[in-house]
Amino acid sequence: MKFRRSERLIDMTHYLLERPRQLIPLTFFSERYQAAKSSISEDLSILKETLEHRGIGTLMTVPGAAGGVKYFPSIKKEDAEQHVKELCERIADPERLLPGGYLYMTDILGDPQMMRKVGKLLGSAFHDKEIDVVMTVATKGIPIAYATANYLNVPVVIVRRDSKVTEGSTVSINYVSGSSKRIQTMVLSKRSLREHSNVLIVDDFMKAGGTVNGMKSLLEEFNASVAGIGVLVESEKVEEERLVDDYVSLVRLTDVDVKEKRISVTEGNYFSKPISFL
Amino acid sequence: MKFRRSERLIDMTHYLLERPRQLIPLTFFSERYQAAKSSISEDLSILKETLEHRGIGTLMTVPGAAGGVKYFPSIKKEDAEQHVKELCERIADPERLLPGGYLYMTDILGDPQMMRKVGKLLGSAFHDKEIDVVMTVATKGIPIAYATANYLNVPVVIVRRDSKVTEGSTVSINYVSGSSKRIQTMVLSKRSLREHSNVLIVDDFMKAGGTVNGMKSLLEEFNASVAGIGVLVESEKVEEERLVDDYVSLVRLTDVDVKEKRISVTEGNYFSKPISFL
């Protein structure tokens, strides 16, 4: 019996962690473990307490015949601060400096452990919003989009710069890039996004916000709404007006001094947002 | 005491699931839970038994002073068969058919739950190989690369079709696309891949294998080795010689009949490979 509870707890943990925000009927678990519903309820209250205590997330029980349990990943404020600090330190590394004052970010974006943390941070900033899909633009936004989508358990939609035959019919828009003032194109496959979807837009880097703004215009073509905007890094140095105001950023790039080889960053606006931490 | 073990098991499950193939010293756990090493060892044997029984993975204990425990995700053959069957059914849906006989795959690639299954399948096919990094080419291979890299707990490296200023200095090669016979370019940021790395190449679709072959040539420039090749879909209909022979495929596209609107698929060569299932 003791073993049975251990087994149930381990398997339930795995099962729920893989399915955030999804309603699992209690009958599913009681059949899976051939256990009484009362034992399952007891398991779930142990699980809830531990997940909260350890800063992993929480469980919500939905009562009634159509009820069950949902796992909501979450994060403690101190862990979030730690993750943002780690990001700041990694981004401030002068080795990232490229000619022209650009930053090399590919190593951070290619690190699944770091991306998981970014997904946790951005996901928890929007976890009380109705979100049907996470959208980004190819290529660098993609890992951030998948990490956030994993956290929220919703699909990913990728906007491209060019149209490809494997996308089927597409909707394309032209937009003006905020910093370079050039006209650019964005393309989204028609069938990749349902009308009236609630869309979380994410990207790796935001300067004036032209790209994010382009995605917003594209969403209008689909009668879809922006549920939120999240970026890994925002640049403080914007010569023109910022085109996007309501967004969440994890890191703020305050200065790049190519001559002195110095990258100055601070935390973004993340902690000034009304995020409910564990 | 009973509660303490429950809490330890739940938290350990989460901790290990997030860190596949990483050595965790037993002292880490005994400090984290203020528990004797003997209790931790007992926990780990319960955990191992459950993870194996439930088809999640296994634990390997490394003895000695520098020892600890490693979690290896794995999969049961019946679950793998179920996942491949699901993929085949989804891909055979005639709604995917695009003009020219192309298949729309973006919904599958944008589905994080499906990608997690693909990552499990490809990851387990190569889990006994020494792999330092998973490589793919932008854009469609990216979700497959991240899913597989999450499973193997290694970084991702993304080859591009064009060079971008944010990549720093790059190495580029020209290659001949297998099916269209056109000369194409592939670019990889110099600092994104260490010399002598062991690289797992993944992609969404393989016809003659020109793209995969291009990645192989690119690896030569980095003195890196191919640790394996995995693709989601391979096409059986190849007019010319296949350029790649040693690969793992999950689904094989046997015929596309545009007129009759029929997509014929079978499972790929996955189950003919020496994969050790749980």
Cis, bond preceding B254 (omega within 30 deg of 0):
no
Structural domain count of chain B: 2
B278 belongs to a structural domain: no
How close A228 gets to chain B, by Cα (Å)? 19
Q: Is residue A100 part of a domain?
A: yes
Q: B72-109, pLDDT tens digit by residue?
A: 999 999 999 999 999 999 999 999 999 989 999 999 99
Q: How far is B200 from chain A (nearest CA, A)?
A: 14
Decide if pLDDT at A31 tops 70: yes
Class of residue A184 by CB neighbours under 10 A (exposed 0-12, middle 13-18, buried 19+): middle
Q: What percent of chain A has pLDDT over 90?
A: 86
Regarding whether A134 and A253 lie in a shared domain, the answer is: yes
- The pLDDT-based confidence of A176 (bands split at 50, 70, 90) is confident
Q: Are residues A50 and A118 in the same domain?
A: no
Containing structural domain, residue B23: 2-73
Q: How confident is the model at residue B237 (pLDDT cuts 50, 70, 90)?
A: confident
Q: Which residues of A touch B155 (CB under 8 A)?
A: 107, 110-112
Is residue A3 pLDDT above 80, yes or no?
no
pLDDT > 90? residue A177: no
Nearest alpha carbon to residue A44 among A57, A61, A28, A32: A61
Q: Would you say residue A9 has pLDDT above 80?
A: yes
Cβ of A14 and B54 within 8 Å? yes
A23 and A149 within one domain: no
Q: Are residues A33 and A101 in the same domain?
A: no
Please say which residue of A39, A57, A73 terminates a domain: A73
The verdict on A133 and A216 lying in the same domain is yes
Last residue of a domain, one of B56, B73, B90: B73
Taking residues B30-41, report their average pLDDT: 94
Q: What is the mean pLDDT of chain A?
A: 94
Q: Are residues B246 and B149 in the same domain?
A: yes
Do residue B10 and residue A9 have CB atoms under 8 angstroms apart? Answer: yes
Task: Choose the closest CB to A9 out of B6, B143, B157.
Answer: B6
Choosing from A73, A94, A112, the residue where a domain stops is A73
* Burial classification of residue A195, based on how many CB atoms lie within 10 Å of its CB (0-12 exposed, 13-18 middle, 19 or more buried): exposed
In this prediction, residue B4 has a pLDDT band, given cuts at 50, 70 and 90, of: confident
Total number of residues shown for chain A: 278
* Residue-level pLDDT at B192: 95
Domain co-membership, B96 together with B166:
yes
Structure confidence at residue B180 (pLDDT):
73
What stretch of H or E contains B113? helix B112-125
pLDDT confidence band for A78 (50 / 70 / 90) = very high
- Looking at residue A95, its pLDDT comes to 95
Instruction: Tell me the chain A residues in contact with residue B139 when contact means C-beta distances shorter than 8 Å.
Output: 138-139, 142, 158, 160
Percent of all residues in chain B with a pLDDT value above 70, rounded to a whole number: 98
Helix/strand number for chain A, H first, E second: 8, 10
B130 with B94, same domain: the answer is yes
| Closest-CA distance of chain A to residue B273, Å | 27
Among A251-260, B59-68, B85-94, which is the least confidently predicted range?
Answer: B59-68
Q: Residue range B230-254: average pLDDT?
A: 91
Nearby residues of A21 by Cβ (< 8 Å), 6 or more positions away: A70, A71, A72, A152, A153
Whether B244 has a pLDDT exceeding 80, the answer reads yes
- Name the DSSP letter for residue A261: T
Q: What is the pLDDT of residue B166?
A: 87
Q: Residue B143 above 50 pLDDT? A: yes
Look at B142 and A140 and tell me if their CB atoms are within 8 Å: no
Q: Kindly state the average pLDDT of the residues A169-190.
A: 88
Is residue B64 domain-resident?
A: yes
Q: Which residues contact A1 (CB under 8 A, 6 or more apart)?
A: none
Point out the residue among A6, A14, A160 whose CB comes nearest to the CB of B139.
Answer: A160
B277 found inside a domain: no
* Residue in A with minimal Cα distance to B189: A106
Task: Determine the average pLDDT of the residues in B126-135.
Answer: 96
Q: Which two tokens stand for residue B264?
A: 């014929």
- Residue-wise pLDDT for B175-213, tens only, equals 987 667 789 999 999 999 999 999 999 999 999 999 999
Report the CATH number that the domain containing residue A40 is assigned in CATH.
Answer: 1.10.10.10
Token digits for B12?
């350990």
Residue A2 has pLDDT above 60, yes or no: no
In a domain, residue A278? The reply is: no
- Give all strands (DSSP E) within A180-224, no chain letters: 183-189, 198-206
Q: Do A13 and B18 touch (CB under 8 A)?
A: no
Q: How many whole angstroms separate alpha carbon B278 and alpha carbon B189?
A: 38
Per-residue pLDDT tens over the stretch A102-160? 999 999 999 999 999 999 999 999 989 999 999 999 999 999 999 999 999 999 999 99
Residue B149 has pLDDT above 80, yes or no: yes
On whether both A93 and A180 belong to a single domain, the answer is: yes
In chain A, pLDDT over 70 holds for what percent of residues? 98
Q: How far apart are CA A23 and CA A20, in angstroms?
A: 9
pLDDT at B1 over 50: no
Does residue A277 form part of some domain?
no
- Asked if A95 and A152 sit in the same domain, the reply is yes
> Is the predicted pLDDT of residue A178 greater than 70, yes or no?
no
Taking CB atoms and an 8 Å cut-off, how many pairs form between chains A and B? 158
**Which pLDDT band, with edges at 50, 70 and 90, does B243 fall under?**
confident
pLDDT score, position B159: 97
Q: Decide if A156 and B110 are in contact by the 8 Å CB cutoff.
A: yes
CATH number, domain of A192, equals 3.40.50.2020
Do B167 and B249 have their domain in common?
Answer: yes
- Across the range B209-221, mean pLDDT stands at 96
Select the residue of B18, B106, B168 nearest A167 (Cβ to Cβ). B106
Same domain for B14 and B106, yes or no, is no
- Which of A6, A98, A189 lies closest to B46 in CB terms? A6
Residues A231 and A148: beta-carbon distance below 8 Å: no
